[in-house]
Amino acid sequence: MDVSINGPKILFTLPILGGLDITETIVNSWIVIILVFIICKLLTHKLEKIPRKRSQQIAEKLVTMIDKLVATTMGERNKKFAPYILTLFTFSSLGSLISLLGFRSVTGDINVTLTWGLMTFLLIWANGLKTHGLGYFKGLFEPVFVMFPLNVISNTAIPVSLAFRHFGNITAGMIISTLLHGALAAASYALLRLPIPFLEIGIPGVLSVYFDVFSGFMQAFIFCMLTMVNVANANEPDEA
């Protein structure tokens, strides 16, 4: 059984900045962006004050759902984050589901999930400082001064934990699926002595429902929920 599991391949190199490598992740990310753009255009084409078209009703339902989720999780004061959370969830879920079309999952690249983790980290600190000023740093010394090193580690670990949780689950699914395909191909050859991978028909599809669909949506949802909780905690108003 010859199975090779590697990171995103370099598809081509642009002759700028000393050679800029364009990987599968970059190309697939643009495919996701184009898909999202097309979906948005279809759902918001010729909007009406009183929605009669099914597409507009779906679009308004999605906006209402995400507004309600953000308001429930983060409070009414943080509803401004709804567009960001919806964008994050859409890109994350479609970035995982793109594997169903034969492309490599965007979220199977640590560079992508780590970037999202750093964005969440910056949102946490920016909103904490905006709400509490320099007094936000006081939380690093609570409940006692000696907790300062642990609190610093705890805060800086947020983007790492967010990134590796998402990346690890998606990558594990990719590895298991690849190993299963290799094993089924080898088993097919052992039974027929012909290069006809008949055992690969149907069986991988069952795991794909979990690893590509369920796990993809679940990891996107968890990432967004943790983002909302951490940002909301950072800009929680001081008690009177």
- In this structure, how many other beta carbons lie within 10 angstroms of the beta carbon of residue 33? 13
Q: Is the pLDDT of residue 103 over 70?
A: yes
* Angle CA 205–166–13, to nearest 5: 85
Q: Is the pLDDT of residue 35 over 70?
A: yes
Is the model more confident about 56 or about 70? 70
Report CA dihedral (125, 127, 131, 136) to the nearest 10 degrees.
-10
- In this structure, how many other beta carbons lie within 10 angstroms of the beta carbon of residue 115? 13
What does the DSSP assignment read for 83-117? HHHHHHHHHHHHHHHGGGGTSPPGGGSHHHHHHHH
Confidence of residue 75 (pLDDT cuts 50, 70, 90): confident
What number of CA atoms fall less than 13 Å from residue 224's CA on the CB side? 23
Which residues have a Cβ under 8 Å from the Cβ of 13 and sit 6 or more positions away? Answer: 19, 20, 21, 22
Per-residue pLDDT reduced to its tens digit, 128-180:
888 888 777 777 777 777 778 887 888 888 888 889 888 888 888 777 777 77
pLDDT at 90: 92
- In this structure, how many other beta carbons lie within 10 angstroms of the beta carbon of residue 20? 11
Q: 6-15, 143-152, 162-171, 192-201: lowest mean pLDDT where?
A: 192-201
Q: 16-30, 31-45, 117-131, 133-147: lowest mean pLDDT where?
A: 133-147
Q: Is the pLDDT of residue 2 over 90?
A: no
Domain chopping of the chain, boundaries: 10-234
Tokens of 112: 């992508």
Return d(Cα 100, Cα 211) in angstroms, integer: 10
Which residues have a Cβ under 8 Å from the Cβ of 178 and sit 6 or more positions away? Answer: 3, 5
- Say if pTM beats, i.e. exceeds, 0.85: no
Mean pLDDT, the chain, rounded, equals 82
Confidence of residue 4 (pLDDT cuts 50, 70, 90): low
Q: How are the residues of the chain apportioned to helix, strand and coil, as percentages rounded to the nearest 5?
A: 75, 5, 20
Return d(Cα 231, Cα 117) in angstroms, integer: 12
Q: Is the pLDDT of residue 30 over 90?
A: yes
Q: Is the pLDDT of residue 198 over 60?
A: no
Return d(Cα 215, Cα 167) in angstroms, integer: 11
